[in-house]
Amino acid sequence: MAATYRDILTRTVKAGAAVVGKRMVGYNGQHAGAGAVALGASTTDAALDEHFPCMVLGVAIVTAGAAIAAGAAVEVGTAGKVITLNAGAKVGRAITAAGADGDNIEVLLIPG
């Protein structure tokens, strides 16, 4: 089954660097740093200084940085991808599982 999203709140963000869609984004408009609190998930790619939609609340499609079990709490890994929660800030909960790095999964966003 294809991943689906449920948008509750999306805001427009100005890219502080090139942004890849389906990645966690920080309050600075860049991919969120590993373990950091995130504003939300980018829904499209954006070049520096372009405006893009960032889902802040809802179920977003996000790229995984490793295998993740459905139901696991997640944090930001490298390049804005999500990984299973370890010592970072919780940014969401995996609704669907990821088998490997690069899989797109449904994540219930948790505001930070």
SS3 track for 51-78: EEEEEEEEEEEEEECCCECCCCEEEECH
Q: What is the pLDDT of residue 101?
A: 98
pTM of the model: 0.95
Q: What is the pLDDT of residues 40-83, one digit of tens each?
A: 999 999 999 999 999 999 999 999 999 999 999 999 999 999 99
Residue 5: pLDDT band by 50, 70, 90 thresholds? confident
CA distance 98 to 77: 14
Query: Domain boundaries in the chain?
Result: 1-112
Under DSSP, the state recorded for 96 is S
